Amino acid sequence: MPGNRSRGRAAGVAVACAVIAAVALASNESASPLAVDPAHSSLVASFRQQGVTVDAPFKRFTGSIQYDPARPADTRASLQVDMASLDVGDDDSDAEVRGAAWFDSAHFPQASFQAARVKPGDAHHFAASGELNIKGRARPITVNVSVQPAGRGFAYDGSFDVSRREFGIGDPSWDAVLDDTVHVHFHLVAPGG
């Protein structure tokens, strides 16, 4: 049923928002803010509905990263995600996901992530911590990110899990068929100047 699919994918979108923001925070060899390039980036929310894994991409987001590898503690990043841009796969499902029980995008059109700090790990790895805000609810989150050169900038890859219930996403009547945990994975590119 399209309704089932859209509700599950709505949960995925919330998680996707968190991922993008965390990744954007990870690293850049410039202290000047650099914009995330959505045309070369992807953010996908994966969840299980009736035992089947569904992948739902998030289509519209903006963000900026400010990172100095010599001073990683000073890293800052922000991300804004258009909550109506989740691609569930069909128009009816997309419309349902925007509804009040799911993302309520009429009242909460954007989700956001504000990175507060980055903790360096092994070479080309970071832990980005900050606040994820979805549907008017804010939660702390930490995302492990790997960073690789990409042209004149960097590509950030990572994943994390989010509970849709924590953000009030989805009607409780769906709990028997739709997992609470949403896995978000991302590939974000922030080109240099």
> 192 pLDDT exceeds 80?
no
pLDDT at 154: 80
CATH architecture of 2-173+182-190: Beta Barrel (2.40)
Which of these, 65, 70, 72, lies nearest to 126 by C-alpha position?
Answer: 72
Which of these, 129, 36, 119, lies nearest to 80 by C-alpha position?
Answer: 36
pTM above 0.75, yes or no: yes
List the domain boundaries for the chain. 2-173+182-190
> 28 pLDDT exceeds 50?
no
Cα-flanking dihedrals φ and ψ of residue 167, to 5°? -105, 10
* pLDDT tens readout for residues 106-135: 999 999 988 888 888 877 888 889 999 999
pLDDT at 29: 40
Count of residues in the chain = 193
For the chain, what is the HEC assignment?
A: CHHHHHHHHHHHHHHHHHHHHHHHHCCCCCCCCEECCHHHCEEEEEEEECCEEEEEEECCEEEEEECCCCCHHHCEEEEEEEHHHECCCCHHHHHHHCCCCCCCCCCCCEEEEEEEEEEECCCCEEEEEEEEEECCEEEEEEEEEEEEEECCEEEEEEEEEEECHHHCCCCHHHCCCECCEEEEEEEEEECCC
Rounded-to-integer distance, Cα 77 and Cα 88, Å: 28
Cα 156 to Cα 27, 54, 74, 76, 165: the distances in Å are 8, 23, 18, 15, 27
pLDDT at 2: 46
